[in-house]
């Protein structure tokens, strides 16, 4: 059991599309904000994560004032969906993908070529859709853009070769090909996250750093595996093999909040997702996320999302393109909302079921 696996099991990634491109220098290509991509992926309510695998050649990735040199085997990920660009170097004419989205998505996996005819750089780009509310568990701690190389060991080389093989010679149109590509895309994304997590420097904070820590990671995994369990700080400390004060201090160090605050918010985010995607009654959802009292659940949910659960559900049905994050006061990158932390402070030593 590990925390990242438990979170991803709940978030449920969905690989939607590959873009197979070959650029010849000089060239420059801008990818729009991912919210512009979502309608083309038939996932208007999902959060789109864009990533790019450089197969051959060299290039630069640029986002705002950040510029990364990328080499074959590098996977560049923009987890928050920011607009970004790739380029061979100075170029008089930059192609804006936002103006060509219809063409890009209609051509499927057919190799797309553009540029000035010079040195070639070949990319395979993927679009990963994830549930926008629950993915906030691990996305906020990631930078706007980062890269990881997967050619440094045999497992990464096998993964890259499998993707290239599946895209080659029309294999992407055969029976079951789309399912194979979707699984390979998901695996590539998770493998990139794992490698990035393993390369974090000592002293790094954030969710991924906490999940990597032996004790904090064990507690996170337990909470995500069994969010409705009657956890107490003492019980979680025993799971980690450390004292309650040490656990609280380590949680604050990595996640900026105590375990009670983190679990309270996660439970409420799970409930928001279930209200939007299931037909469970409010009472059933309250029980599934760890509340014995429907009234207590209603109060906590309203403090966090601004509306009681029933009204929240009705509004979501009437506004299908909205996201649960729109009902919080916290930007997508800043972690769990402040309201949830305030709710959690009413109990200092317990993460037990609310009664």
Cα 172 to Cα 52, 155, 330, distances in angstroms? 18, 22, 41
As a whole number of angstroms, the longest Cα–Cα distance in the chain is: 69
Average pLDDT on 222-248 reads 95
Q: Which of 138, 158, 105, 123 is nearest to 29 (CA)?
A: 123
pLDDT at 236: 95
**Residue 104 pLDDT level (bands cut at 50, 70, 90):** confident
Residue 214 in this model has a pLDDT that exceeds 70 = yes
* Residue 175 token pair: 């029976």
CB-based contacts of 199: which residues, under 8 Å, 6+ apart?
148
Over residues 17-36, the pLDDT tens digits come to 678 889 999 999 999 998 88
CATH code for the part of the protein at 207-351: 1.10.10.60
Res. 61: pLDDT tops 60: yes
Q: Is the pLDDT of residue 89 over 60?
A: yes
Q: What is the mean pLDDT of residues 176-203?
A: 87
Can you list the positions of beta strands (E) in 65-104? 66-70, 74-78, 84-87, 95-96
Please write the tens of the pLDDT for every residue from 236-265: 999 999 999 999 999 999 999 999 899 999
As to burial, measured by CB atoms within 10 angstroms (0-12 exposed, 13-18 middle, 19+ buried), residue 330 is middle
310 compared with 179, residue with greater pLDDT: 310
Fold adopted by 3-198: Jelly Rolls (2.60.120)
* Confidence class for position 339, pLDDT limits 50, 70, 90: very low
Summarize pLDDT for 3-15 with one digit per residue, the tens: 999 998 888 788 7
Q: 167-171, 309-313, 337-341 — which one is most confidently predicted on average?
A: 309-313
For residue 107, what pLDDT band results from cuts at 50, 70 and 90? confident
At 165, list the tokens: 């093989």
What's the pTM value of the predicted model, to 2 decimals? 0.81
| Element housing 293 (H / E) | none
Cα(247)–Cα(240) distance, rounded to whole angstroms?
8
Structural tokens at position 334: 């800043």
- Domain spans in the chain, listed from the N-terminal domain onward: 3-198, 207-351
Query: Residue 168: is its pLDDT beyond 80?
Result: no
Instruction: For residue 124, give the nearest of 57, 55, 173 by alpha carbon.
Output: 55
Residue 126 · residue 119 · CB < 8 Å: no
Q: Do domains 3-198 and 207-351 have the same CATH topology?
A: no
Which residues on neighbouring strands pair with residue 129, listed in sequence order? 14, 48
């Amino acid at each position: 059991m590990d925390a990242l696996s438990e979170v991803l099991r709940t978030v449920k990634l969905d690989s939607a599309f590959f873009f197979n491109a070959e650029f010849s220098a000089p060239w420059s290509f801008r990818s729009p904000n991912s919210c512009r991509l979502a309608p083309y992926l038939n996932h208007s309510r999902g959060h789109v994560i864009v990533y790019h695998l450089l197969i051959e050649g060299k290039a630069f990735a640029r986002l705002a004032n950040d510029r990364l040199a990328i080499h074959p085997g590098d996977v560049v990920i923009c987890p928050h969906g920011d607009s970004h660009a790739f380029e061979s170097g100075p170029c008089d004419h930059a192609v804006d993908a936002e103006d060509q989205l219809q063409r890009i998505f209609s051509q499927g996996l057919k190799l797309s070529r553009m540029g000035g005819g010079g040195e070639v750089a070949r990319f395979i780009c993927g679009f990963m859709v994830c549930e926008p509310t629950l993915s906030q568990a691990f996305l906020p701690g990631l930078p706007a853009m980062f890269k990881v190389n997967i050619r440094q060991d045999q497992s990464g080389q096998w993964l890259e070769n499998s993707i290239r093989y599946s895209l080659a010679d029309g294999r992407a149109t055969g029976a079951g090909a789309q399912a194979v590509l979707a699984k390979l895309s998901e695996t590539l994304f998770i493998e990139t996250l794992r490698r990035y997590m393993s390369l974090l420097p000592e002293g790094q904070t954030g969710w991924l750093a906490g999940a990597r820590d032996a004790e904090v990671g064990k507690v996170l995994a337990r909470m995500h595996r069994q969010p409705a369990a009657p956890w107490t700080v003492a019980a979680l400390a025993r799971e980690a093999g450390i004292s309650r004060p040490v656990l609280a201090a380590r949680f604050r160090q990595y996640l900026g909040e105590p375990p009670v605050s983190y679990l309270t918010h996660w439970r409420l985010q799970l409930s928001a997702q279930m209200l939007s995607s299931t037909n469970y009654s409010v009472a059933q959802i309250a029980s599934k996320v760890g509340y014995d009292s429907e009234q207590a659940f209603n109060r906590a949910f309203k403090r966090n999302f601004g509306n009681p659960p029933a009204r929240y559900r009705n509004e979501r049905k009437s506004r299908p393109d909205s996201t649960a994050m729109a009902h919080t006061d916290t930007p997508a990158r800043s972690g769990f909302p402040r309201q949830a932390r305030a709710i959690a402070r009413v109990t200092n030593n317990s993460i037990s079921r609310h009664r």
